Every structure is written in structure tokens, then in C-alpha cells.
Amino acid sequence: MSKKGIANGLTNYGDRDFSLYLRRSFARSMGISAPMLAGPIVGIAATESGFNNCHRNMPELVEAVSRGVLAAGGLPRVFPTISLGEVFLNPTSMMFRNLMAMDTEEMIRAQPMDAVVLIGGCDKTVPAQLMGALSANIPAVQLVTGPMSTGRHKGERLGACTDCRRFWGKYRGGEIDADEIETIEGNLAVTSGTCAVMGTASTMACIGETLGIALPGTAAIPAVHSARLLAAEASGRAAMALTAKPITPRQVITEKSVANALRVLLAVGGSTNAVIHLTAIAGRAGVKIPYALINRISDETPVLVDLKPVGEGYMEDFFAAGGVGAVLRELKSLLHLDTIDVEGRTLGERLEDKGEWVDRKVIREFADPVSKVGGLIALSGNLAPQGAIFKRAAATESLFEHEGRAVVFENLEDLASRIDDPALDVAADDILVLKNAGPKAAAMPEAGYLPIPRKLARQGVKDMVRISDARMSGTAFGTVVLHVAPESAIGGPLAAVRNGDRIRLSVAKKSIELLVSAEEIQKRLAEHVRPDAPSRGYGALYHRSVTQAPDGCDFDFLR
């Protein structure tokens, strides 16, 4: 790709010279000098929003990236795209990931830039930016906003959002009162940045660094740490280097680097959501991630990182312990070392140096893992013919082999209205089933972590087997079967489950079975009525085009 700067992708007026003259003239109106306009341009995709707390530090990151570009002799141009703040979006941020990916792709392609720095952080933003960058395929560097630092409550550290759920569970169970939960509310999210644990945002940051699209060592730097600003400045310089010697996202994100990223996802005990996002990102590069591959890699990759929600620590500990580099060094024998990053360095070259001191309480040695097998597996069986995802690292081992009676909720409204009904017929060894929360039905909200019915929570029940076609927050934990495909709304077998049916989960066999005859399941599905679809706007486009979880929920026309 040649460096064209301001002459990239001219506006069509039927006269190229006129277009360039007009563009220069209008650029001059922004006070940019002619010599600056003659050089390379680095776009900076900025995602600040009053509805996105995780991107609160965007202005200082943008300034630092710009400084890096200017110092290297280029012209930084900041441009906005939509921003997705996880907890501020209705019905769920997942519905808008593909919209942000389209926005990012089209604005990279439409505007004159030789390279781009993408600044994201909150759960859906990094996948959206990487999907867009892969499709636009001009040189790109990912920079994350970085994780939050922890707050304090009664001598204990608090971090969004594993502790949000832990204390909410205590409140529902009557262990703490309304005053205390209000105090905790004010101490869960106390700095800028993304959730403080190994949730989806942190997992995606680790994936970005492993893929090589983000600079080495940058995934885990806390949002408020000065090193985050240095990383931003370095990202600007790296983007400028790419204008001279282009390396495109599709050269960086390949079958091999995706396999490495999958391994890191499993080794850090990462989020179930990241499976969907990595699948969607890889899909833009023409790379498939079959569930069989996830299981193979999971069975040979230990969990090495002891962070919540799987273990004990927070992202600030992971950063201090050695971050992604330390994990990569432990996994070295299992990685493809000939992948390249945005600086043109192979992973093998990156891992040549021995690295710094590693805190082994947080990042364990390969021979002394948190768990000998990876954090996630795919399940299959007659309840999920196209598969389901299960986070074994965050589940209760005594429920790994479990058969129980189904207690069915037909949709999200039904769940909300009945889960705490004292008359609900439910016992601790039942299996909670939620239907109609898949990609097409409900844009796959993080509702798969069904609350323990209040009357059971009050008896001290902490976990139950739960099954749905929904997702679960990366910060959540429990024996939760997610992403059941095909989803119930399009007639997947989940639609056939009725109250009182028996269901069997076997983690050893990686299976999820509805213990009802095939004939009876078919008979029930023949009577299934699909829910109404939205008829206008983005909702209609989404419903028509979104793919199922095993295809990453990307739009069928974008892959």
C-alpha cells in the first residue's frame, strides 16, 4: 500500500485535482499547515462517550497517541465512532457490536488515512474495532483504555464486576442489608477503565496483544497508570512506522495468531464472550474456529492466571505480576512463534528475552497451574446440536456430572416475573432453563447467569445448573451452559424443553442432553411458533442478518 496522506480516497466530484484542491483548502480551515498536509496521516478512532465510563480516560489517551504521531513526523486526525458502554445500552450492547464494526470499517475506509490507531476498551468495542479494521485492512494498531483499579470496603478490595455479583447475591440471600449494598455500590467502580477482573474487556485486551495487533506489554496496564500514556504515545509512533512500512491487519491476524489467542484465552481463564468475539474477528480474516478446536486446545492448555472470576486477583495484580508476556513465556512450547505483530517482530523474537520477575501467586508456572485444563469447553448433544459453551473454570465441580428436572422460563420477561415467586416449584438440584434469549430473539443478552431463585438463595444455595441460548458476563461465575445453538427462537431443540423434563450435563463427556425421545422432541418442535421479528431500522437488519454463536454472531453479509 502506498502512502498517500490527504490524497487517499478522494471525494468524487468528477475532477481529481479539484477534489484534492478542495480537500486541502478545507483542511487548511482547521489550521493545518501545507507541510503537515504533505505528510502521512494517522487516524485515531476515538470512542469517548458520556455513556461509557470505561472510556473516561479517552481524552488523555488521544492526546498521547497524537503526540506519538507528531513526534514521528505525521499528522494525527482524531475521528469519532459510536461507543458502546456495556451497562448503558438497551436491550444489550451485543446488538450494537456489529454496528460499531461497520461504523469503524466504513470510516477507516472513507477518510484519508495511511494508518489508524483504534482506542477501545469496554467489552464490545475492541472486537468491533478489530472486525472493522480487518475488513478495511489498512495498517492498524489497537490500544485499550486499560483496566480499573480496585476500591475498598471494610478492608477488602472490590472490583467490577465479579464483586458486584458476589455482593448482590449476598443481598438477595439476606446476608447484607440495603445500607451496605448502597455503600458497596459506591466502591465497586472507582477509577476510569474497564472492569477490574478477567472479564470480557480484559480477555479481549489479552487477545489483542497476543494477536499482535496491540503493542507488547500493553493489555494489562491500569487505566490510571502513567505507563498507559506511554503505551498510547508508543502506539502513535508504531502507527507512523506502519505508514512507511505497511503491515496490514490481515498479515497480523492469521490462522496461527488466532490459535495463539485462543490458547491465551483459555490460559487466562477468560470470558465466554471472548469465544464469540474471537470467532467474529477471525471470520473477518477468513479463519474459522470450530468448537472441536476449542476443546482440543482447552484440553492441552492449563489455566495459569489466578484472577477473578475464576480465582482471586484483579487486573492490577496481573499487570504487576508480568502481564500477557509472562503468560506467553509459560505457553511458549504450545504457541506458533512465526506470527508477526504490528512492529514486524515475530512472537518467537518477542519471547527470546527471559522477561522480568513474575509473581507466581498470580501467573503460575506451566508445571504448577491453577487448573491442568483450559477454562472453557464446548458441549454438544441433542439439546445443542451446533454446540454450547461452558466455563468449567468458573463452575462448581460437584455439578459437573448432574441430572436434574428442568424448570423452564419461556423468555426474559417470564424469568423476571417468576424467578422470585415464592410459589415457584423449584429445588436446589433442578436445572434452570431460559429460552428465547439467543442472537435473533433478544440479541443475546448476558442473561445466561440466571439468578438463584430468592427462596433458594435464602436457604444458602449458591449455584445451580443453568442453561440458555444467552451469554453471560465475563465477570460472572457458576455452572452455566451458554450460547446453546441453534437458538430456541429459530426452532433449536431448546425450544422443546418443558417443565419437568430431565436434562443431563456431563463435563467429562462434554455433553448436554435432553432426556426426551427424538420423536417427542420433533413433535414439540413441529408445534413451535417463531417470535415476531422487528420490521424496521437497525433492529430489522440485525434480526435478518445475525448469525448464530458458533459463527461469532457477525452479520452474514460482513463475513
- Smallest gap from Cβ 55 to ligand FES, in A, equals 8
- As a three-state string, the secondary structure of 239-264 is HHHHHHCCCCHHHHCCHHHHHHHHHH
Q: Which amino acid is at 231?
A: A
CB 128 within 8 A of CB 95: no
Give the one residue of 122, 259, 327, 407 binding ligand FES; rule: CB under 6 A: 122
The separation between the first and the last C-alpha atoms of the chain, rounded to the nearest angstrom, is 23
408 scored as a contact of ligand FES (CB under 6 A)? no
Closer Cβ to ligand FES, 121 or 236, answer by number: 121
194 scored as a contact of ligand FES (CB under 6 A)? yes
Tell me how far apart the alpha carbons of residues 202 and 220 are, in angstroms, rounded to a whole number: 7
**What are 421's three cell numbers?**
415467586
| Cα–Cα distances in angstroms (integers) from residue 319 to residues 10, 111, 196, 223, 392, in the given order | 43, 36, 11, 11, 25
Tell me how far apart the alpha carbons of residues 232 and 181 are, in angstroms, rounded to a whole number: 36
Find the part of the chain contacting ligand FES (CB under 6 A) among 195-203, 461-469, 489-497, 502-510: 195-203
Task: Identify which of 493, 528, 531, 139 has the alpha carbon closest to the alpha carbon of residue 344.
Answer: 139
Closer Cβ to ligand FES, 148 or 388, answer by number: 148
Q: How many CA atoms lie within 13 A of 25 on its CB side?
A: 6
CB 482 within 8 A of CB 275: no
Could you say which residues in the range 518-547 bind ligand FES, by CB under 6 A?
none
211 scored as a contact of ligand FES (CB under 6 A)? no
**What are 392's three cell numbers?**
468449567
123 scored as a contact of ligand FES (CB under 6 A)? yes
- Smallest gap from Cβ 103 to ligand FES, in A, equals 18
Give the one residue of 10, 70, 87, 541 binding ligand FES; rule: CB under 6 A: 87
82 scored as a contact of ligand FES (CB under 6 A)? no
DSSP assignments along 123-176, one per residue: TTHHHHHHHHHHHH-S-EEEEE--BPPPEEETTEEE-TTHHHHHHHHHHHTTSS
**What are 90's three cell numbers?**
438497551
Q: Is 96 exposed, middle or buried (0-12, 13-18, 19+ CB in 10 A)?
A: buried
Task: Identify which of 362, 363, 395 has the alpha carbon closest to the alpha carbon of residue 376.
Answer: 395
- Smallest gap from Cβ 93 to ligand FES, in A, equals 9
Using CA atoms of 15, 17, 19, 24 in order, give the dihedral in degrees to the nearest 10.
-170
| Cα–Cα distances in angstroms (integers) from residue 383 to residues 203, 348, 379, 496, 513, in the given order | 28, 42, 10, 9, 5
Closer Cβ to ligand FES, 122 or 433, answer by number: 122
Give the one residue of 201, 289, 315, 383 binding ligand FES; rule: CB under 6 A: 201
Closer Cβ to ligand FES, 161 or 431, answer by number: 161
- Smallest gap from Cβ 195 to ligand FES, in A, equals 3
Closer Cβ to ligand FES, 202 or 436, answer by number: 202
Give the one residue of 74, 86, 136, 505 binding ligand FES; rule: CB under 6 A: 86
Closer Cβ to ligand FES, 144 or 258, answer by number: 144
Closer Cβ to ligand FES, 307 or 503, answer by number: 307
- Write b or e for each residue in 240-266: b if 16 or more Cβ atoms lie within 10 A of its Cβ, otherwise e: bbbbeeebbbebbbbebbbbbbbbbbb
Find the part of the chain contacting ligand FES (CB under 6 A) among 194-202, 231-239, 451-459, 530-538: 194-202
CB 481 within 8 A of CB 467: yes
Q: Is 303 helix (H, G, I), strand (E, B) or coil?
A: strand
CB 480 within 8 A of CB 508: no
- Smallest gap from Cβ 288 to ligand FES, in A, equals 27
Closer Cβ to ligand FES, 291 or 318, answer by number: 318
- Smallest gap from Cβ 151 to ligand FES, in A, equals 14
Give the one residue of 41, 42, 44, 54 binding ligand FES; rule: CB under 6 A: 54
Find the part of the chain contacting ligand FES (CB under 6 A) among 127-135, 176-184, 193-201, 277-285: 193-201
- Smallest gap from Cβ 122 to ligand FES, in A, equals 3
Q: Is 351 helix (H, G, I), strand (E, B) or coil?
A: coil
Find the part of the chain contacting ligand FES (CB under 6 A) among 191-199, 290-298, 299-307, 390-398: 191-199
- Smallest gap from Cβ 392 to ligand FES, in A, equals 23
490 scored as a contact of ligand FES (CB under 6 A)? no
Give the one residue of 64, 89, 102, 195 binding ligand FES; rule: CB under 6 A: 195
- Write b or e for each residue in 525-547: b if 16 or more Cβ atoms lie within 10 A of its Cβ, otherwise e: eeeeeeeeeeeeeeeebbbeebb
- How many residues line the site for ligand FES (CB under 6 A)? 11
Tell me how far apart the alpha carbons of residues 201 and 122 are, in angstroms, rounded to a whole number: 5
- Smallest gap from Cβ 88 to ligand FES, in A, equals 9
233 scored as a contact of ligand FES (CB under 6 A)? no
- Smallest gap from Cβ 205 to ligand FES, in A, equals 10
Find the part of the chain contacting ligand FES (CB under 6 A) among 126-134, 192-200, 488-496, 510-518: 192-200
- Smallest gap from Cβ 260 to ligand FES, in A, equals 23
Closer Cβ to ligand FES, 159 or 369, answer by number: 159
**What are 536's three cell numbers?**
424496521
Closer Cβ to ligand FES, 199 or 369, answer by number: 199
144 scored as a contact of ligand FES (CB under 6 A)? no
Closer Cβ to ligand FES, 133 or 195, answer by number: 195
Residues that bind ligand FES (CB under 6 A): 54, 86-87, 122-123, 160-161, 194-195, 199, 201
